[in-house]
Structure 1
Amino acid sequence: MTQLKKSQSPENAPDIGHGGLQNLVPNELKSTTHPSQDLFNSEESEVNFRTVSWQGAAILIAKFQIGLGALSLPSTLHVLGFFPGILCFVILAMITTVAGYVSGNARQYFPHMHSVGDAAQILFGKGAREFVGLIYYIYLTLVAGAGMLTTSVALNALSDHGACTMVFLAVACGLAFIFGTGFRSLQKVAWLSWVGVAGIFFAIWITAIACLARTRPAAAPSGPISLDIRVVNPEASFTRVMSAISTQLFALGASGTFFSVAAEMTEPEKFTRSLIWGQSFIVITNIAISSIMYAKVGQYLASPALGSAGLLIKKISFGISFPGLLVTAVIWSHIAAKYWFVRILRGTPDLQSNTIRHWTVWVGSMAVTIAIGFIIVGVVPFFDDFLSLIGALINPVFTNILPGFMILYFLGMSPASVSDGHPLDPTEEQASSMVWLSAAFKAYRSGWKQALAFVGAFFMILLGAFIIVGGTYSTVLNIQASYKHGTVSGVFSCGDNS
């Protein structure tokens, strides 16, 4: 990474959340930004990407995290038990909020940032950018595929399986390509997100209220029943617990995308405000919906949860949520394609000009992303375990490990962390040698806030590593058991997945 230039005095450094990172980042690092180094030039360009308001950023944050996770979250309470399940969700929400805060605000110190790959380069060098960037793209494509899969579920439910599931999946992919390609900036995608969030929000509340109105769960057999509601579940196996935790993390794990959201904000210094509104909405909604549905339906919860109140309500809910499910596929496909679009055209006039190369790279990136998503969904015919696998194998990298190291990086850049009292320079040499990491261990010299941040960062990293190992192992065992018992269909199946 090239040496950053000074352009503003420390007292004019941007406000990023009322003292949060400002207490960790030295003034010398705060003053290294320069307008010409911004990834997107909003003054001399044909295509202006930096047009997202803080309200638009808030709805994007909400849309990135509502939808697939909200539909699978209630079933995790049955596995973990109600109290441990809610407690676990709150803890993960706190961790991912910290991760989102660090990810979204870091760009104010490094305005060339567009993705988590750029953050990895600052931390570990150029090689890390390519490796982490590839993982990031795979993650985005997997979630986009999951959005396409859920859209096909909705079409099957609405039509009573009126066509082969692969046909519905192709329709979902086609619509995602059309809308995702037509809107090059996140500002226009944000308008779609308002519709998407509203659709899923009303759909899940309709389902929850319908569950409350029923005298017995729709999926319950005739005769006496037991909801088997568990305040705690001491009999839960390790594999099922880790799989449930991975699913919860998936429901909150979009913090890796916040780099891209901040990169297209008109006023990125207001990102914290967007994060608070978007994240609060998601956490409160998920807790309320999951609690109501689990308390009323218990072990008879459907997956996705919109099918828990009977066939009629299922069709109504899927009909209302259909735009939101489709927007999920659109927004994740868009952000995945944008990664390669920026990666290929960064630093060239084609990035923000309506040239042939500009449109070729953009359309090609979207087409490849949609095609990969279609293939992945075709060969992965299970929903819950698919989300758990993503939540276990990839999410912790972006919600725990990278943000934890970013906190350590800011601590290590502090003057109090080095023997001569001068901050380290944010250069490629510092990243490759990781001098900042050893310096971060001296954070206690700066005060209790820095010491607390140091402990919190290590907790995030260790927890992330534990979820990757334990969650992936558990999810793979669950998938093996599903195939052994014949509860999943084959690849590219036409069977009804609703």
Structure 2
Amino acid sequence: MIEMSSFGSKPEGSESGKTFYNYEVDKTMIKTPSVKNHDVEDGEFEQYGDDTSLSYRDAFEESDEEGHQIKYKTSSWQHITGLMLSEYIILAMMSFPWSYSVLGLIPGLILTVFVAGVVLYTSFIILDYCEKFPHLKNACDIGQHLFWGSNFAWYATAVCYVANNTLIQGVHVLVGGKYLNTITNHSTCTVAFGVITAIISFVFSIPRTFASMSKVAYFSAITMFISVILAIIFVGIQDHPVGYDGTHLTFSLWPQKGTSYVDAMGAFLNIVYVFAAQVTYPQFISEMKRPRDFKKVFLLVTAIEVVIYSITGAVMYYYIGNEYMTTPAYGSLTRKYKIIAYSFAVPTIIFVGSLYSNITTRFIFFKVFKNSEHMHSHTTIGWLSWIGIIVLTWIVAFIVAEVIPFFSDLLSLMCSLFACWFGFVFWGMAYLRVKQTKYEKTNPYPCLDKGEKIRFYIAGFLILFGVYVLGPGLYATVQSIIYNFQANAYGTVFSCADNSI
């Protein structure tokens, strides 16, 4: 594996300013069995990402794994597309009808497109950054690199990274328990259903490479898509939403009078959360055969998610109305329809949590066993360690699901705590860091051309937007949780009570 020789505080860059690499750092890294004692010239990296052929860097990555039993850099853009679709075509999209009911349809649709555009823009930055600094393999490496090589920055980012992934696992344990309660009419204790979900999810977390998980990922995305289409059809053909008491359904193009800041911010954060999954992108890119192909992935996935999210939110909101809205929106379907549509979401409930468990395990395992035989060979210690870390992630996720037994507020909490950094702040800083490196100046602004200056201001906006999500966003989320606990809207911790929808 490529090791980082230095996280020095000075920006990397050649004297010519044409490349973004520290020559001395990269010269020590780029020596492989197939390219012995090859002293790399600065110009050799200028074709990195060329669509017509493998770059020198790509060739090195592939040769570095020659002879290994377990090869990680095996994913094509089709493999990664499946994984990303499984990340985005998820149960959380069923919170969009509720978000639209709070924000109003027009603001809801505008914010959906706006957030999608912002995330798409950051995707270009991430790909560019990973190309410029290919020794950075995950969000924690990037966090350290952005904050001047600080070890504290790496560990602080690691804590947020693992916590974010574990909370996502916890959401899926919670939703799995809700599903089992729903279809069985609460046949046993809810805690037991959480255990069952965690155990099944553990099994699907075990594969060692992203490529080997991609087929299940596609199955997860396709079945979730079917689930959403069925829910849209059913909500249209049923006579009334669940809970109908004769009150006329209302549908608002704009926020209703009296909508509080806390409610509006919670609805907005639900939208941001579903889009802001960039934390996984660097790991995906690092295991692609041709990293440059990642552009195809995020362009395709963004187009799909905007269409699906907008249609799901708008149509289901129209038929459910403000008075009978639930989150996830399956709760507004009559029992027969609910069970059919909800059941098609089961692969997603299981797999997405498994994917994030796998990502966390990969991150910890690579850190502990870097450059050892256990990382690339089928050793007993390697496999026991891999499985042990997976088990640990699911134990913690189960505890999280039992201690934080709520859905939409949990999504908002994760968004305000972690998406602020991994979705926005990091990538605004990444653009600034690239320009500092290019021009070898702490303040590169005077050297920027017109287009770069525009992107410079956009980078500043990304940072401020992330700070807003963290500050006011976290305040609104905490207030919402407090209000709901006061209203007894949530159960107690480790409760056997029915939480079906």
Question: How does the TM-score come out when normalised to structure 2?
Answer: 0.87
Q: Is 1:362 matched up with 2:386?
A: yes
Q: Which residue does 1:249 correspond to in 2?
A: 272
1:458 deviates by: 0.5
Q: Which residue does 2:368 correspond to in 1?
A: 344
Q: Which residue does 2:244 correspond to in 1?
A: 220
Q: Which residue does 1:321 correspond to in 2?
A: 345
1:439 deviates by: 2.7
Aligned residue runs from structure 1 range 36-47, under 5 A: 38=61, 41-47=64-70
Q: Is 1:262 matched up with 2:285?
A: yes
Q: Which residue does 2:422 correspond to in 1?
A: 398
Q: Is 1:4 matched up with 2:26?
A: yes
Q: Which residue does 2:165 correspond to in 1?
A: 140
Aligned to 2:75, the other structure's residue is in SS state coil
CA deviation string 1:430-456 (max 9, x = no partner): xxxxxx6x33333xx332221111011
Query: Is the Cα–Cα contact under 8 Å of residues 51 and 266 in structure 1 kept in the other structure?
Result: yes
Give the Cα separation in 1 of the matches to 2:413 and 2:75. Answer: 32
1:17 deviates by: 8.7
Q: Which residue does 2:105 correspond to in 1?
A: 82
Q: CA RMSD in A?
A: 2.1
Q: Aligned match of 2:135 in 112, 120, 123?
A: 112
Q: Aligned match of 1:207 in 211, 228, 231?
A: 231
1:487 deviates by: 1.3
Give the Cα separation in 2 of the matches to 1:362 and 1:486. Answer: 40
1:10 deviates by: 5.2
CA deviation string 1:261-313 (max 9, x = no partner): 11221221100001111222112111111111111212222211122221111
For the structure 1 residues 373 and 326, does the alpha-carbon distance in structure 2 shift closer, same or farther, using more than 3 Å as the test?
same
CA deviation string 1:448-478 (max 9, x = no partner): 2211110110000001101111111111111
Q: Which residue does 2:443 correspond to in 1?
A: 439
Greater mean alpha carbon deviation, residues 231-240 or residues 310-319:
231-240
Q: Which residue does 1:66 correspond to in 2?
A: 89
Q: Is 1:52 matched up with 2:54?
A: no
Give the Cα separation in 2 of the matches to 1:151 and 1:101. Answer: 34
Q: Is 1:236 matched up with 2:259?
A: yes
2:66 partner letter: E
Give the Cα separation in 1 of the matches to 2:287 and 2:84. Answer: 13
2:172 partner letter: G
Q: Which residue does 1:374 correspond to in 2?
A: 398
Query: Is the Cα–Cα contact under 8 Å of residues 219 and 310 in structure 1 kept in the other structure?
Result: no
1:155 partner letter: L
1:14 partner letter: Y
2:443 partner letter: A
For the structure 1 residues 32 and 441, does the alpha-carbon distance in structure 2 shift closer, same or farther, using more than 3 Å as the test?
farther
1:41 partner letter: D
Query: Is the Cα–Cα contact under 8 Å of residues 95 and 408 in structure 2 kept in the other structure?
Result: yes
- In structure 1, stretches of 5+ residues that fail to align are 19-30, 416-423, 425-435
Aligned residue runs from structure 1 range 469-484, under 5 A: 469-484=471-486
Give the Cα separation in 1 of the matches to 2:57 and 2:181. Answer: 51
1:228 deviates by: 4.3
Aligned to 2:132, the other structure's residue is in SS state coil
For the structure 1 residues 16 and 104, does the alpha-carbon distance in structure 2 shift closer, same or farther, using more than 3 Å as the test?
farther
Q: Aligned match of 2:191 in 159, 166, 191?
A: 166
Q: How many residues align?
A: 461
Give the Cα separation in 1 of the matches to 2:59 and 2:158. Answer: 25
Query: Is the Cα–Cα contact under 8 Å of residues 117 and 129 in structure 1 kept in the other structure?
Result: yes
1:479 partner letter: I
Give the Cα separation in 1 of the matches to 2:86 and 2:188. Answer: 29
Of all paired residues, the percent bearing the same amino acid is 24
Runs of 4+ in 1 over 6 A off after TM superposition: none
Query: Is the Cα–Cα contact under 8 Å of residues 405 and 491 in structure 2 kept in the other structure?
Result: yes
1:64 partner letter: E
Aligned to 1:481, the other structure's residue is in SS state helix
For the structure 1 residues 204 and 329, does the alpha-carbon distance in structure 2 shift closer, same or farther, using more than 3 Å as the test?
same
2:335 partner letter: L
1:413 deviates by: 1.5
CA deviation string 1:296-348 (max 9, x = no partner): 21222221112222111110012111112111111111112111111212233
Query: Is the Cα–Cα contact under 8 Å of residues 92 and 328 in structure 2 kept in the other structure?
Result: no
CA deviation string 1:392-431 (max 9, x = no partner): 111111010001111111111223xxxxxxxx4xxxxxxx
Q: Which residue does 1:301 correspond to in 2?
A: 325
For the structure 1 residues 58 and 217, does the alpha-carbon distance in structure 2 shift closer, same or farther, using more than 3 Å as the test?
same
Aligned to 2:343, the other structure's residue is in SS state helix
1:350 deviates by: 2.3
Q: Which residue does 1:449 correspond to in 2?
A: 451
For the structure 1 residues 16 and 99, does the alpha-carbon distance in structure 2 shift closer, same or farther, using more than 3 Å as the test?
farther
- In structure 2, stretches of 5+ residues that fail to align are 6-24, 28-39
Query: Is the Cα–Cα contact under 8 Å of residues 114 and 259 in structure 1 kept in the other structure?
Result: yes
Greater mean alpha carbon deviation, residues 54-63 or residues 464-473:
54-63
Give the Cα separation in 1 of the matches to 2:63 and 2:205. Answer: 20
Aligned to 1:486, the other structure's residue is in SS state coil
Query: Is the Cα–Cα contact under 8 Å of residues 94 and 312 in structure 2 kept in the other structure?
Result: no
Query: Is the Cα–Cα contact under 8 Å of residues 52 and 266 in structure 1 kept in the other structure?
Result: yes
Give the Cα separation in 1 of the matches to 2:235 and 2:252. Answer: 15
